[in-house]
Amino acid sequence: MEDIADEYVVNDFHKHQIQQAMDEIHRIKVTGNMKFCQARKAIFKQKASLKRKIDEYADELIDVLKVKWTNFQAELSEKMEKLHDNSEHNCTEGAVFFQQHEEPNSSLNELGKLNLDHICVPKFTPGKEIKDNFGIIEDKYIHYKDKYKTKFKIRRHYNIGLSYINYIGVCSDDSLWLCDTVDPTGIHRIEFEGSDRKGVARFYTNEFKINGIAVLPTDDLLVATAGSVIKRVDYITGLVSDTNYNVSPLHTRSVHITRNEHVLVAAMAYGTAYKFPVSGHRVVYVFDKKGVKLAMHEYDKFGAPLFQIPYSLTSTNNRNISIADFYANGGKGRVIVINETGSVLNIYSGHPDISRNALTPVGLTTTEMDTIIVSDMNSHTLHILNDIGQLLTYVNTMEAKFPYCTTFNTYGKLYLGCSAPIGKSDKVKLYEIDLSIYKQCKTESRPSGLSDENKLASIDDLSILFNSFLV
């Protein structure tokens, strides 16, 4: 029996190793696909750029040629005029010569001064091939042992007078939209002056439940509610109106505005939230600015639902969409990353060293460097993922317990909103954070297609600092 038990242990261990290897291969495949696409786009971009520059330079050469042609014609005309004048003058001098037997005038020698051998004509000499100027393809090794470290420093905090800061958005003037889903004055717009609150505007939202927010370029606020239509809250007056972002017959769960001003809306069937197993439709819609549906993501390639409860949304520059998804009781969640066609790139369910019980991804934010910040409320942790949902590093939020939402102001400083413990009404603070990410890794590049003895390899020790004002 002991031998059989040991065999089961060994088999389980081998299965775990195989699964780890398969996960590693999957990550490499996802990263490789992304890098091949990026390289292809870079080649076409370089092609278009060089073509444009070549066209511009060719036009410059044509302009130079036109000037030279004008000068050439002018020079020939000038010499022909001189010859014409000499011709008439020398005819007169010739008659005098035969009559007086004298030497002709020195003007006859002007023919030798025309310098016809020194007239320049243009010649175009083609340059060398442009391969060196265009670029080359190098082999770039993928290192998954790269280490990232973080520094997390609380610069200041603000006493807002709320028990929950569930959603936060920044305006162009650095004022903030804050939402407390429990307080009847659920929406607040706060202005700051230095470390003090300059003003607070409170808007009552008894008529709808707040499921998520997004700030428009006009600084008006989009609000996902328990209804089918995204609401719009005026920046100045607080007046609420309907938008054209309609997900009927579903109800909205979250809203996000991409950098190309598309509007993402997560939606699901009425009355199905937090009832497991979940039933009904769960969809992420993509709208244009006018409210026209451009795409919808609901099923994976096997026909299975992509999401259980899509709770929060964000996106990156390469149009990947990250969804915080809750899939079981007890706040168990994950972050699903899909591309613009809806294919799953990665599913991040936390790390055993961080989320001992389960990942609680209540908030998502994308940085300027296309890293994704995941607010893990129950673990008091911010997870930092890359643009395909792979963990780079993490940081404990220290005294800022139960982190719920994050955003960056126009100067790159990170705001962190928190929640009171469940069942309590403690007043929480809004934190302003300095967040730095350090990367220490080795990279190796070599030109592709060279023989082994001629391959160029360079290994550089890198220490790159990404501060929050650059993130």
Whether residues 292 and 342 share a domain: the answer is yes
Domain assignment present for 141: no
Domain assignment present for 452: yes
| Domain interval for residue 272 | 147-467
Whether residues 204 and 346 share a domain: the answer is yes
Whether 314 and 263 have beta carbons less than 8 Å apart is answered as no
In the predicted model, is pLDDT for residue 444 greater than 80? Answer: no
Separation CA 331–CA 36 (nearest Å): 37
The encoded tokens of residue 343 equal: 């294919």
In the predicted model, is pLDDT for residue 25 greater than 70? Answer: yes
pLDDT band at 244 (very low <50, low <70, confident <90, very high): very high
Separation CA 129–CA 131 (nearest Å): 6
Whether residues 260 and 347 share a domain: the answer is yes
Whether residues 179 and 289 share a domain: the answer is yes
Domain assignment present for 140: no
The predicted pLDDT at position 142 comes to 56
| Mean pLDDT in residue range 281-306 | 94
Q: Which residue has the tokens 């088999």?
A: 11
Whether residues 105 and 154 share a domain: the answer is no
Whether residues 46 and 195 share a domain: the answer is no
Separation CA 284–CA 163 (nearest Å): 30
Whether residues 124 and 214 share a domain: the answer is no
Whether 305 and 282 have beta carbons less than 8 Å apart is answered as yes
111-125 pLDDT per residue, tens: 555 566 666 777 777
The predicted pLDDT at position 440 comes to 52
In the predicted model, is pLDDT for residue 458 greater than 60? Answer: no
145-189 pLDDT per residue, tens: 456 677 888 888 888 888 889 999 999 988 899 988 877 667 888
3-state secondary structure of 222: strand
What φ, ψ does residue 338 adopt, rounded to 5°?
Answer: -120, 155
363-406 pLDDT per residue, tens: 999 988 889 999 999 889 999 998 999 888 889 888 888 999 99
**What percentage of the chain reaches a pLDDT higher than 70?**
71
320-365 pLDDT per residue, tens: 999 999 987 777 899 999 999 999 999 999 887 776 678 999 999 9
The predicted pLDDT at position 312 comes to 95
| Domain total in the chain | 2
253-267 pLDDT per residue, tens: 999 999 999 999 999
Whether residues 249 and 319 share a domain: the answer is yes
Domain assignment present for 368: yes
The encoded tokens of residue 36 equal: 């091949």
Whether residues 154 and 105 share a domain: the answer is no
3-state secondary structure of 450: coil
Q: Last residue of a domain, which of 106, 135, 164? A: 135
Whether residues 98 and 195 share a domain: the answer is no
Separation CA 427–CA 424 (nearest Å): 9
Whether residues 290 and 385 share a domain: the answer is yes
Domain assignment present for 370: yes
Separation CA 291–CA 164 (nearest Å): 31
Residue (of 294, 321, 324) closest to 307 by Cα position: 324
Separation CA 50–CA 129 (nearest Å): 13
DSSP 8-state symbol, 103: P
DSSP β-bridge partners for residue 233: 221, 240
Q: Last residue of a domain, which of 84, 106, 135? A: 135
Domain assignment present for 418: yes
Report how far Cα 311 is from the mean position of its chain's Cα atoms: 22
Between 468 and 440, name the one with better pLDDT: 440
Q: Last residue of a domain, which of 107, 135, 163? A: 135
In the predicted model, is pLDDT for residue 446 greater than 50? Answer: no
Average pLDDT along the chain = 78
Domain assignment present for 91: yes
Is the C-alpha dihedral spanning 356, 357, 361, 362 positive or negative? negative
Domain assignment present for 410: yes
Whether residues 51 and 158 share a domain: the answer is no
| Mean pLDDT in residue range 309-313 | 94
CATH code, domain carrying 223: 2.120.10.30
